[in-house]
Structure 1
Amino acid sequence: MLSLKAALAKPFAKIIYKSIQKWANNPIETQNKVFQKLISEAVSTQFGKDHDFVSVNNHNDFVNRVPVRDYEALKPYVDRVVAGEENILWKGKPLYFAKTSGTTSGAKYIPITKESMPTHVEAARNAILMYIHETGNAKFVDGKMIFLQGSPVLEKQNGIQLGRLSGIVAHYVPKYLQKNRMPSLKTNCIEDWETKVNAIVEETLPENMTIISGIPSWVQMYFEKLQERTGMKVGDIFKNFNLFIFGGVNYEPYRAKFESLIGRKVDSIELYPASEGFFAYQDKQHEKGMLLQLNSGIFYEFIKADDFYTENPKRITIADVEIGVNYVMIISTTAGLWAYNIGDTVQFTSTKPYRVIVSGRIKHFISAFGEHVIGKEVEQAIQEALVGSDAEVSEFTVAPQISPSEGLPYHEWFVEFEKEPENISALAQKIDASLQKQNSYYLDLIEGKVLQPLKLTKVKKGGFQDYMKSIGKLGGQNKLPRLSNDRKIADKLADLGLTK
């Protein structure tokens, strides 16, 4: 028998589904409206005045007046907002700053405004409601749910609260879900990640957990600790756990490991949230890609990744994108980010409606030899190589070896196995064959004897967690880059003695 809450979830899901179909079926008109509203709302801001927004009537005008910027280039404006000035990037002051760890500039402060905050919350809610509408499954709303996240403790800077995005969002859990939410506030505020996960294990063990959510690598750590504590599969500990919600990284490399830890298959929903905006979520269980949020105060532009570092790359809107092309995603938002490069690359899997997958990071690629290998390609290569094998991979990253002690240069794959293959070199050959098949530049370099086939280096069990801990990025929203164009990670792994 369904509870009242579960029974009400279904008609509510239907209402939300219909409202989403309206804008999803009118994508270009929807984006035009978002664009016009953004420009009109920001005409009198400092940024709007500096870039002559009063004369911007269409996308072409915008391209001519507003260059693409990353955080470093936008920082002079952000610094003024952080200092407490009003009407700089957006009207008034932001409600929050989402503090993220930047690579070159130290901490980044991403503004979240009164207009942008609700879109983060609604997209997360709608992802679950679309799942309920599609599957008819609403029983899970009566159980306990957990989101492995950063601490909700917020600091103040010039009257504006700042913290991690997941910590900020924790303050917006709807009232009807408050009683279902885990962990307790006290546990959620623990800063040390390992201590926090141990406390979460103790707190959740006696509960009826139905939804578990978080970045796969950190949820894996939670599952492993549950198993260590009980000697049981996660699916036997939590018999009603049937929905895993994740974001931040591709789930596929983790899927086999998760099904082994859980002991059975569970449905999953992929999300694409970031401090800069909630961009997409999986709206169908059996469709590839996530529904791009075209009605959330975000105007999207795209630049072909292959052209991104050329003199004057072409910026296009969703009207001109093609399926399967690797694009750098550029956003303008109600948080006052303008033609902003978040650093992600995406590919469209569908244009009716517009669905995307995250293919990697524009800075996380290997092109030390002109091969342009991206995250999606290395992930697919390892997945294909593991088919039919009993080997299990926990985590991996790839780096170029430009000056080996002997022979030609190569790509070095650092792989942490949960279960090692019988024949490591055979696995390496399969990975290399898949990469050659996917990437013609890489194939040409191998055939032209510029590169030799990849080499695989084993990382000790728990090695990548030790690496993340050593750089102060264990847990929360932190992710290991799948690939780098240098050997910083590779050298650190060796320095710490984490390779075999």
Structure 2
Amino acid sequence: MKKRIHDIDLFRKYPHEVQAELFQNLISTAKNTEWGRKYGYADITTMAQFQERVPVSTYEGLYPYIERVMKGEQNLLWPSKIEWFAKSSGTTNARSKYIPVSPEALEECHYKGGKDMLSIYVNLYPETKLFTGKGLSIGGSHRPNEFNTKTSCGDVSAVIMQNLPIWAEAMRTPPLKVALMDNWEEKIEKMVELTVQENVTSMSGVPTWTYVLLKRILEVTGKSNILEVWPNLELFTHGAVAFGPYRQLFREIIPSDKMNYLEVYNASEGFFGIQDQAGTEDEMLLMLDYGVYYEFIPMDQFEEENPKTLTLDQVELGKNYALVISTNAGLWRYKIGDTVKFTSLDPYRIKISGRTKHFINAFGEEVIVENAEEAITKACNATGAIITNFTAAPVYMESGKRGGHEWLIEFEKEPSSLQRFTEVLDTTLREINSDYDAKRQKDIALQEPIVHAMPPNSFMNWLRHKGKLGGQNKVPRLSNSREYLEEIMEVNGVRGI
């Protein structure tokens, strides 16, 4: 672990050199693939040539190649044999995405990220007793690929767990056969039964689903908090959704000042960031030696057909960028769908600011997920509320009516006043987003938000209805259409405006 901290310090100090060397390795390795021959990788020597020849890709653009790989063809996007595909868990597309996972991506990206997370944590907290117990992780499931049963696909967490070395498997709970169960509700009950007997010192997972498990453990054991079940619990490693709105929820159920929280940025496409400082929220070190080459699209150019991308040495603090990656699994100049902001340029640290498809801009207000989560967190703090989930969508203008935003919020603890909660939500959005504020002036275009306190389990009912219960599935925070919002209300018998 100490040796790895030295390597991390190296790319902190020489970020551009590390990325340049990695870029050359990617190009050289893939030059004889079908994709590499198509775009002349053999004689690409500079990043400028790469940007000129190779288009920025979406999943739809790469899918013809991915589908052929899923059917058994090899050496199309990447030379190594591809036997695993990570099924994207997002709820925004009806059709799932299948991301190739090469042996290099498993070893040099996903596993390396997991080991680095431990190295960084131990470096921050050398007195840790983490290794005296087990790590609890909530995974998804996997199954044979329908196109080719010699290969498999599933949630990236399931792909990683299935391929873990024996020593790593011995350090985690529950057993693999339970962790990878397909039926979420049956899995939860089995996890409760098995894990309450263990000395759990750490947890990792999506905050929403981890909380569901912890709450069920308290119901079954009759304990008042999780430390009565696992007194040595000291770390929760979380990702996939911003932790800010959930922080108070976890403080209530794990009432200890010694409990540590570490954010990571891992996705089906790769492992990108790890929180490397104690006490910072939502800010992660960009990991530069994981077989991932990074480019960034300024959001004002995102909709262009072949947008100009920036390299790491060209980015600026505080600006919103769409993330573009080229990886050791054959994703080339791929728009991952996330947006990030840089909080530091020495070393390079980022925070996830949202999704390229998750925003509300029905009236030119340009509200992004980062805005929504900050406003929700402040509204909770002001009213003593604790939330479990939320989503929002526009209310479109009709004859004689102004537009607005409608919010569905499921509270674990109701606010002291829903009206006060709404006011703080609205005021915070106005303070942090000048476009929203301009549209709210004198209610010209936008009226005050409409907030519905949803019945318990509303979002879980919707995910169950969609067949997306458990694993890494998550609720879209914002949408520029009313599709999800109206589905959630209909499933739960709630009337909107």
Where does 1:190-269 land on structure 2 (aligned, <5 Å)? 190-232=181-223, 233-265=225-257, 266-269=259-262
Q: 1:406 and 1:387 mapped to 2: Cα distance?
A: 36
Is 1:108 the equivalent of 2:102?
no
RMSD, matched Cα = 1.8
Superposition deviation, residue 158 in structure 1: 5.8
Confirm or deny: 8 A CA contact 1:398 1:482 kept in the other structure: yes
What 5-or-longer segments of structure 1 have no aligned partner?
A: 1-12
Q: 1:345 and 1:309 mapped to 2: Cα distance?
A: 14
TM-score normalised over the length of structure 1: 0.94
Confirm or deny: 8 A CA contact 2:359 2:367 kept in the other structure: yes
Which of 443, 446, 450 is matched with 2:445 structurally?
450
Superposition deviation, residue 44 in structure 1: 1.4
Which of 461, 473, 477 is matched with 1:482 structurally?
477
**AA in 1 matched with 2:235:** L
Confirm or deny: 8 A CA contact 2:144 2:151 kept in the other structure: no
Superposition deviation, residue 48 in structure 1: 1.2
Q: 2:43 and 2:439 mapped to 1: Cα distance?
A: 49
Aligned to 2:461: 466
Aligned to 2:138: 148
Superposition deviation, residue 206 in structure 1: 1.9
Superposition deviation, residue 263 in structure 1: 2.4
**Secondary structure in 2 matching 1:458:** strand
Aligned to 2:124: 134
Change (3 A) 1:142 1:388: same
Q: 1:74 and 1:431 mapped to 2: Cα distance?
A: 40
Confirm or deny: 8 A CA contact 2:133 2:200 kept in the other structure: yes
Report sequence identity in percent. Answer: 38
Confirm or deny: 8 A CA contact 1:84 1:93 kept in the other structure: no
Is 1:183 the equivalent of 2:161?
no
Q: 2:6 and 2:430 mapped to 1: Cα distance?
A: 44
Aligned to 1:395: 389
Which of 466, 489, 492 is matched with 1:494 structurally?
489
Confirm or deny: 8 A CA contact 1:364 1:482 kept in the other structure: yes
**AA in 1 matched with 2:22:** V
Q: 1:43 and 1:496 mapped to 2: Cα distance?
A: 50
**AA in 1 matched with 2:141:** S
Aligned to 1:439: 433
**Secondary structure in 1 matching 2:473:** coil
Q: 1:105 and 1:431 mapped to 2: Cα distance?
A: 31
Deviation readout 1:412-470 (Å, 9 max, x if unpaired): 11111112123211211111111111111111111160111211112111111111111
Q: 1:470 and 1:122 mapped to 2: Cα distance?
A: 36
Confirm or deny: 8 A CA contact 1:72 1:105 kept in the other structure: no
Q: 2:416 and 2:103 mapped to 1: Cα distance?
A: 56
Which of 91, 95, 114 is matched with 1:124 structurally?
114
Deviation readout 1:164-195 (Å, 9 max, x if unpaired): 21111113434334333211233223211111
Superposition deviation, residue 395 in structure 1: 1.1
What 5-or-longer segments of structure 2 have no aligned partner?
A: none
Is 1:414 the equivalent of 2:408?
yes
Aligned to 2:343: 349
Q: 1:104 and 1:230 mapped to 2: Cα distance?
A: 38
Superposition deviation, residue 15 in structure 1: 1.6
Deviation readout 1:136-170 (Å, 9 max, x if unpaired): 03312120211111125555726333332111111
Superposition deviation, residue 90 in structure 1: 0.9
Where does 1:327-406 land on structure 2 (aligned, <5 Å)? 327-403=321-397
Which of 280, 286, 296 is matched with 1:302 structurally?
296
Aligned to 2:263: 270
Deviation readout 1:234-275 (Å, 9 max, x if unpaired): 112110011111111111111101111122241011111111
Where does 1:38-117 land on structure 2 (aligned, <5 Å)? 38-101=26-89, 103-104=92-93, 106-117=95-106
Superposition deviation, residue 91 in structure 1: 1.1
TM-score normalised over the length of structure 2: 0.94
**AA in 2 matched with 1:173:** L
Q: 2:333 and 2:465 mapped to 1: Cα distance?
A: 35
Superposition deviation, residue 116 in structure 1: 1.4
Q: 2:195 and 2:435 mapped to 1: Cα distance?
A: 49
Superposition deviation, residue 411 in structure 1: 0.7
Aligned to 1:164: 155
Q: 1:123 and 1:443 mapped to 2: Cα distance?
A: 40
Q: 1:419 and 1:158 mapped to 2: Cα distance?
A: 47
**AA in 2 matched with 1:86:** Q
Of 126-135 and 383-392, the range deviating more from structure 2: 383-392
Of 327-336 and 61-70, the range deviating more from structure 2: 61-70
Deviation readout 1:58-111 (Å, 9 max, x if unpaired): 121111111111111111111221222221111143131112357547232211
Where does 1:282-301 land on structure 2 (aligned, <5 Å)? 282-288=275-281, 289-301=283-295
The ranges of structure 1 where at least 4 consecutive aligned residues each deviate by more than 6 angstroms after the TM superposition are none
Which of 302, 309, 317 is matched with 2:311 structurally?
317
Change (3 A) 1:152 1:73: closer
Confirm or deny: 8 A CA contact 1:100 1:108 kept in the other structure: yes
Q: 1:31 and 1:95 mapped to 2: Cα distance?
A: 27
Q: 1:43 and 1:151 mapped to 2: Cα distance?
A: 34
- Number of residues of Structure 1 aligned to a counterpart in Structure 2: 488
**Secondary structure in 2 matching 1:116:** helix
Q: 1:429 and 1:358 mapped to 2: Cα distance?
A: 26
Confirm or deny: 8 A CA contact 1:359 1:375 kept in the other structure: yes
Change (3 A) 1:402 1:388: closer
Q: 1:48 and 1:182 mapped to 2: Cα distance?
A: 42
Confirm or deny: 8 A CA contact 1:146 1:181 kept in the other structure: yes
Of 146-155 and 278-287, the range deviating more from structure 2: 146-155
Of 84-93 and 458-467, the range deviating more from structure 2: 84-93
Change (3 A) 1:101 1:252: closer
Confirm or deny: 8 A CA contact 1:371 1:441 kept in the other structure: yes
Change (3 A) 1:493 1:405: farther
Superposition deviation, residue 400 in structure 1: 0.5
Q: 1:322 and 1:466 mapped to 2: Cα distance?
A: 42
